[in-house]
Homo-oligomer: A and B are copies of this chain.
Amino acid sequence: MHLGPGRGVIERAVRLALDEDLGRGDVTTAACVPADAPGAAALRAREPLVFCGLEVVREVFAQIDPALELRVGATDGAPLDAGEAALTVHGRAASILQGERVALNFVQRLSAVATLTRDFVACLPAGTRTRITDTRKTTPGLRALERHAVRCGGGHNHRYDLGSAVLIKDNHVAAAGGVAEAIRSARAFAPHTSRITCEVDTLLQLGQALEAGADVVLLDNFDDASVAEAVKQVAGRALVEVSGGITLERIELLARAGVDVISVGALTHSAGSMDLGLDWIE
């Protein structure tokens, strides 16, 4: 497994979430559960899924009570069947109860992103070089975690943010005075470590972008026939990315057409929530 998000990112996200839910205490647990009563619980999948969120769950319980002990059964990216446990947590019952909801809120979302990504990746023909990537359509505040979840599902990441690579869209073209001017300006300004992607709406624009030396052409909302035509026109001179209107059904065809990158906003904006729960054990 590759490295996940850094500790700082996880710490901050968990602190915010715990502050939302537990920042004013937990009146029910304080009233009903003796402070030192022991407990143990298993985090279980309630439907088949790709698990994601181990380090987040660890941090949730560590921030509430460093004495809680986590026993790990599955690492991020592992497929779980319904009923299978990803981990168990042992220690003060009150501490477990206080962290339950926040831990689940994270892990249900992240596992949903990982699982949906896996579903897209599973549609790729064997041996293809095509990759499925996320977009910047992530949940505000959770980008680093969701990008990690995409990787756990077998997907790839697109550029992190507006600062880490060039992606020229129609408004940039309009402001720069044309596709060629925009690409030339970007080449002159951006770090030499960044590839230049140019979004195109038509085959005409595609030609301009290729001529101006775009490293990546992004076919925006092209239908399958146009994608095939575009790939032929590009002829290896640039990477080909498609975006817009991507469904599971189209993945195989797009990959066979020779597309390099299929970027799918739905991976992060519409993954919803997988069903996992914390079951009391022992």
Contact = CB atoms under 8 A, between A and B. Distances in A.
Interface in A84-111: 93-94, 97-98, 101-102, 104-106, 108-109
Q: Number of copies of this chain in the oligomer?
A: 6
Contact of A97 (B18, B172, B265): B172
Interface magnitude class on chain A: 35 or more
A175 B93 contact: yes
B140 A102 contact: yes
Nearest to A195: B193
A138 B137 CA distance: 18
A216 to B, nearest CB: 7
Given A3-B26, A22-B163, A26-B163, 19 more contacts: A7-B64, A9-B23, A20-B138, A20-B140, A24-B163, A25-B163, A27-B162, A28-B169, A28-B186, A28-B190, A97-B172, A105-B269, A109-B139, A139-B139, A140-B141, A141-B142, A158-B193, A160-B191, A193-B216
Interface of A: 1-3, 5-9, 13-35, 37, 39, 63-65, 93-94, 97-98, 101-102, 104-106, 108-109, 131, 133, 136-144, 156-176, 181-182, 185-186, 188-195, 197, 216, 239, 241, 260-261, 265-266, 269-270, 272-273, 280
20 contacts: A2-B30, A6-B22, A8-B63, A17-B141, A21-B136, A21-B143, A22-B163, A26-B163, A27-B189, A28-B162, A28-B168, A30-B189, A32-B175, A33-B171, A34-B175, A101-B136, A105-B138, A131-B192, A192-B260, A270-B272
